[in-house]
């Protein structure tokens, strides 16, 4: 049912004013595509990605994103998608793990390095490591072990050592090489 009007402002059937963010929509760019969210402005980005857009690569990483599995890039900065309500993201450019590969499907060098180093166990944590790793390599093209160990991502399958090797392989430009 179309909302009624109260003094020119749309209202819901139970007479609450429809929030401005819903009336006008929240425009976001995700992996190069433009979307307008017209649902609950407080919906966390993680649920918008997974439940609305079916971009299920980004995983739930705890109520505060503590294990890093829900990292995405907002602009150039890695952030926990569960902590970001859509209303804060109007006009933002967001990159998820699905957006790391090139348009022709070629993997990002860090994705390839994860394969080369067999750094993927069950895979649950992998999207978060990739986002954190891409950010790290941008900030520190030749990261040390200490730099990598400062990432707050965790892996319950015990892949940290191989993740470290993968990040270093990508840094060395050896992704895809024997």
Residue 165 touches ligand FES, criterion: CB under 6 A:
no
How far apart CA 176 and CA 35 sit, in angstroms, is 34
For 40, phi and psi rounded to 5 degrees? -60, 120
CB atoms within 10 A of CB 37: 21
- Integer angstrom CA distances of residue 43 from 37, 67, 84, 140: 10, 20, 8, 33
What residues contact 119, with CB distance under 8 A and at least 6 apart?
113, 126, 129, 159, 162, 163, 165, 166
Binder of ligand FES out of 53, 121, 135, 152 (CB under 6 A): 121
Nearer to ligand FES, 28 or 132 (CB): 132
Least distance in angstroms from the C-beta of 124 to ligand FES: 4
Nearer to ligand FES, 30 or 166 (CB): 166
Binder of ligand FES out of 74, 125, 136, 170 (CB under 6 A): 125
Residue 160 touches ligand FES, criterion: CB under 6 A:
no
Residue 159 touches ligand FES, criterion: CB under 6 A:
yes
Least distance in angstroms from the C-beta of 12 to ligand FES: 42
Site residues, ligand FES (CB under 6 A): 120-125, 155-157, 159
């Amino acid at each position: 049912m179309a909302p009624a009007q109260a003094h020119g402002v749309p209202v819901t059937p139970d007479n609450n004013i429809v929030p401005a963010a819903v009336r006008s929509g929240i425009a976001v760019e995700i992996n190069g595509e433009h979307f307008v969210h017209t649902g609950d402005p407080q919906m966390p980005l993680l649920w918008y990605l997974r439940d609305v857009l079916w971009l299920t690569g980004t995983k739930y990483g705890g109520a505060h994103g503590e294990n890093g599995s829900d990292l995405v890039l907002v602009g150039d900065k890695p952030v926990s998608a569960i902590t970001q309500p859509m209303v804060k993201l109007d006009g933002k450019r967001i990159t998820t793990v699905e957006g790391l590969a090139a348009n022709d499907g070629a993997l990002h060098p860090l994705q390839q390095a994860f394969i080369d180093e067999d750094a993927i166990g069950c895979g649950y944590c992998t999207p978060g490591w990739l986002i954190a790793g891409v950010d790290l390599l941008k900030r520190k093209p030749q990261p040390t072990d200490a730099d990598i160990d400062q990432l707050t991502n965790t892996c319950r399958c015990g892949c940290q050592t191989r993740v470290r090797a993968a990040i270093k392989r990508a840094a060395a430009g050896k992704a895809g090489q024997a």
